[in-house]
Chains A and B, each alone.
Chain A
Amino acid sequence: MTPLSLRGAHGATKQSRAAVKSIATSLLRCARKEVVKLAACLAILLGLCGPAHAVRPDEMLADPVLEARARDIGKELRCLVCRNQSIDDSEADLAHDLRVLVRDRLKAGDTNRQAIDYIRARYGDFVLLKPPFEVATWLLWGGPALVLLIGGLGIARYLRRRSGLTDPPPLSPDEKRRLADMLDTGAER
């Protein structure tokens, strides 16, 4: 029994065909005999695919409440070395230093906002993964709404104009006769 997808593969070499075939057969065998094992493998693999945290055990605070707050803050701060990772996800040295700094600030009694502002004062708005809403960023935040508004106005204009169109007046008896004549001559041809 050749799998359907392999029948049309004229260009494939014998070797690669054999390889695909053997993979397919082993998969089938697996499915038949080792469904449970396969499911267990998948479960483990999927478990490993979670978000990669770079927070090291020696950085963590003993107090679980403070540590949870530090994690909340860490998710919002950009690692300036790798740019599109948060400091919690980054292995960079600077990210490590910033994580420790955040925890030090929390231990010193800062609120989450104060701890974030402490870092923001040194690195600017760029350190925030979510840009604040302010004069310089209104277009960024308001852009989608603006596009929606322009599109909506366009649609409204279109609909209004279409509803303004009325049906053409009915044909007069004379016009009806002329039309019938035209159609007749067309049919004769």
Chain B
Amino acid sequence: MRRWFYLLPIVVFGLMAAGFYVGLGIDSNVLPSALINEEAPTFDLPPLPGSDKGFSSADLQGHVSLVNTFASWCGPCRMEHPVLNALAARKQVPIYGINYKDTGEAANGWIKSLGDPYTRIGMDSGRVGIDWGVYGVPETFIVDKTGHIRYKHVGPLSEADIDDKIMPLVAKLQK
């Protein structure tokens, strides 16, 4: 009993050190989504000017989809865009775009100069973004066949993210 008592500080230190070590690995910029495994919100967003392909929640039914929020004013989105273009070229999963708090003109200029990986694009003034729990762009969601959100990626997608996280889950959900 006595001996055990003297070991207690070491045990407490060990537990705290382990806790802090785990805490070091947590990226505090990435907040967990409250919507994982929830049904995607209901919305109907208008298309970019000159297009007739707006984006509504009905588009998400019946197949696995990626939903990507982007904006022409968003620096990291520019970094992410080539990755989305490459993913779209593989034609394995449709990518839907939510153009977040942007102008039609700027968004059209963005698509024209950087390429268009999106199956459909809806323009959002911010309210639909809130329904998706978006707190910054870019954010990317994986939605399953039944329209439920299964995964959320915060920040720009890299090729490694696509290969290690996005596509394995998409393939699993497509089965």
Contacts and interface: CB of A to CB of B under 8 A. Distances in A.
Contact of B33 (A81, A93, A101, A124): A124
Contacts of A98: 130
B70 to A, nearest CB: 16
Interface stretch (B51-59, B88-96, B132-140): B132-140
Given A80-B135, A94-B135, A122 B127 contact: no
Interface residues of A, number: 15
Contacts, number: 38
B31 A124 contact: yes
A21 to B, nearest CB: 48
Given A101-B127, A124-B31, A124-B34, A81 B136 contact: yes
Contacts of B130: 94, 97-98, 101, 119, 122
A17 to B, nearest CB: 47
Nearest to B134: A94
A126 B126 contact: no
B127 A121 contact: no
Contacts of B78: none
B135 A121 contact: no
A123 interface: yes
Interface string B123-159: 0001100111101100000000000000000000000
B136 A123 contact: no
A101 B132 CA distance: 14
A81 B135 CA distance: 6
Nearest to B41: A122
Interface of A: 80-81, 93-94, 97-98, 101, 119-126
Interface of B: 31-35, 101, 126-127, 130-133, 135-136
19 contacts: A80-B31, A80-B136, A81-B136, A93-B101, A93-B126, A94-B135, A97-B127, A97-B130, A101-B127, A101-B130, A120-B34, A122-B35, A122-B131, A122-B132, A122-B133, A123-B133, A124-B33, A124-B133, A126-B32
